[in-house]
Amino acid sequence: MHRMKKLIDNAGRLFVALLLCLTANSAAWGQDKQDNVIDEVVWVVGDEAILKSEVEEMRLDALYNGRKIDGDPYCVIPEELAVQKLFLHQAALDSIEVSENEVIQRVDYMMNYQINAIGSREKLEEYHNKTMSQLRETWRENAREGLRVQKMQQKLVADIKVTPAEVRRYFSGLPSDSVPYIPTQVEVQIITRQPKIPQAEIEAVKARLREFTDRINKGETSFSTLARLYSEDKESAIQGGEMRFYGRGELDPAFANVAFNLQDPNKISKIVESEYGFHIIQLVEKRGDRIKVRHILLKPQVPEEALTNACARLDSIADDIRSSKFSFEDAASILSQDKDTRNNHGLLPNPENNTSKFEMQQLPPEIAKVVNGMQIGEISKAFIMTPQRTGKEECVIVKLKSRINGHKATISEDYQRLKEIVLVNKQNEVLDKWIREKQKHTYVRINEKWRNCAFRYPGWVKE
């Protein structure tokens, strides 16, 4: 997924990006808008129907989200849905599936996007007149289909390679006004301190988990019920605490040590502390070196005073660095509590491009806001952020290590970016060719009122 996202971000032209965006949003905003739409089948692709209500939903979504449709929406949108169905049909033939965990992650991404767009969870619920749980269920199948389309496309383009000669040929053939613009990129170092949680708060969380265990063992309720009601791991909570199959190396070490030692599905584990909080775990199934468990996660509440103290400690560290008592790099290696950067002198890695360079929108929003006004070598004041991985508030200082201002690409400085663009172009060509070939062997019927269109792929209408 990181690879596909990287290609989309860098080139911005990959056709699948549009499909995925539409799949992710097709049910998000229109669920309550179609009461007055008289439904009818407008297209049939293979044995799949495209309804007028689906098209209308997506047209309204585009209006709400500010997406410009290049052409008549009643031509563009049905064709996009038809192409998606071609990929889904092939995915079914090739037995391409997605895990429940992947679906949950996509739903979370969609939900966060919509919350940011509308302003708050409460506004989102009010807009739809639905709870967040109901909205999640609405989006689940759309997310599943979008991921299956994505995996099918990735399979079709998996073997495509790009040579240095192709990159040079592409660049030398570009008119000067078509040379890609490379946005500003930055490298950022980070030092984090987690607030000290009072022991009384930790004991309260443990007592609650022990109470849950007692209730389950006495048969008063089930593990799944308590997970749905109380677990703070929202991804697994909606599944009764059940996680996908994991290998030992994919899990927090403390969590894995306990989970992989479980033998009896009827037994509840001891309380486990991980970087996310405190858990109790129940075995679901073992398959070789992989395991599926369900768990309940509770996170101790962080007092405001603890956050204030952690930030004050970081401000003191920053002052010592500015006074040259020690370097930012040494402080990050010795004092930082961020395990992902501590061994790399605090340098943030960008998983989307496997480098340490970030475009501003790729940074965590709290960091981007601070870095935006900084000078190279400057160290920030302490601020609070909540990493998406753990969901736990922590205090942070950052140093802007480098900035490459936005510029027109050059073959020497931006070879990797140009290579990605050439790769995307080649992938587009393969996907385009595949769609045109698939059209020839797929039954398509279009309602007469919906056929007078300049389709991107003319093969839909067979004479």
Distance CA 427, CA 419 (A): 12
Q: What is the mean pLDDT of residues 219-248?
A: 91
pLDDT > 60? residue 27: no
- Reported in sequence order, the residue ranges of 178-307 that DSSP labels E, i.e. its strands, are 181-182, 185-193, 246-247, 272-274, 277-287, 290-298
What is the chain's Cα-based Rg? Answer: 26
What pLDDT, in 10s, does the model give residues 380-420? 999 999 887 778 889 999 999 999 999 999 999 889 889 99
In the chain, residues under CATH classification 3.10.50.40 are 185-196+303-407, 199-298
Q: What is the mean pLDDT of residues 408-436?
A: 94
Cα dist from 407 to 42, 87, 221, 362, whole Å? 46, 37, 61, 18
pTM equals: 0.59
Q: What is the mean pLDDT of residues 64-92?
A: 91
Spatial contact of 311 and 395, defined as CB atoms under 8 Å apart: yes
Residue 139: what pLDDT? 84
199-298 is classed CATH 3.10.50.40:
yes
pLDDT > 70? residue 358: yes
Residue 370: what pLDDT? 95
- What kind of architecture, by CATH, is found in domain 185-196+303-407? Roll (3.10)
Cα dist from 366 to 123, 284, 385, 394, 395, whole Å? 22, 38, 6, 12, 11
> In terms of pLDDT, which residue wins out, 409 or 106?
409
The fold adopted by the segment(s) 2-164+419-460 is Triger factor/SurA peptide-binding fold (1.10.4030)
Q: What is the mean pLDDT of residues 10-33?
A: 38
pLDDT > 60? residue 306: yes
118 — pLDDT class (breaks 50, 70, 90): confident
pLDDT > 60? residue 4: no
424 — pLDDT class (breaks 50, 70, 90): very high
28 — pLDDT class (breaks 50, 70, 90): very low
Residue 10: what pLDDT? 38
Percent of the chain with pLDDT over 70: 91
Residue 26: what pLDDT? 39
For the ranges 83-87, 119-123, 411-415, the one whose mean pLDDT is highest:
83-87
pLDDT > 70? residue 128: yes
3-state class (DSSP) for residue 377:
coil
Buried b (16+ CB within 10 A) or exposed e, 78-94: bbbbbbbbbbbbbbeee
Residue 96: what pLDDT? 92
> In terms of pLDDT, which residue wins out, 134 or 148?
148
Distance CA 267, CA 195 (A): 33
Residue 23: what pLDDT? 38
Residue 218: what pLDDT? 95
Percent of the chain with pLDDT over 90: 65
In the chain, residues under CATH classification 1.10.4030.10 are 2-164+419-460
Residue 142: what pLDDT? 85
300 — pLDDT class (breaks 50, 70, 90): very high
* Averaged confidence pLDDT in the chain: 87
Residue located via tokens 């402080």: 331
Q: What is the mean pLDDT of residues 274-296?
A: 93
pLDDT > 70? residue 463: no
Residue 288: what pLDDT? 84
Q: What is the mean pLDDT of residues 311-323?
A: 96
What pLDDT, in 10s, does the model give residues 31-66? 343 444 468 999 999 989 999 999 998 888 788 667
Going across the sheet that includes 272-274, the strands are 246-247, 290-298, 277-287, 272-274
pLDDT > 70? residue 345: yes
Q: What is the mean pLDDT of residues 239-258?
A: 90
CA angle 269-250-224, nearest 5°?
A: 40
Q: What is the mean pLDDT of residues 341-352?
A: 90
Cα dist from 6 to 3, 220, 350, 360, whole Å? 5, 49, 10, 14
pLDDT > 80? residue 237: yes
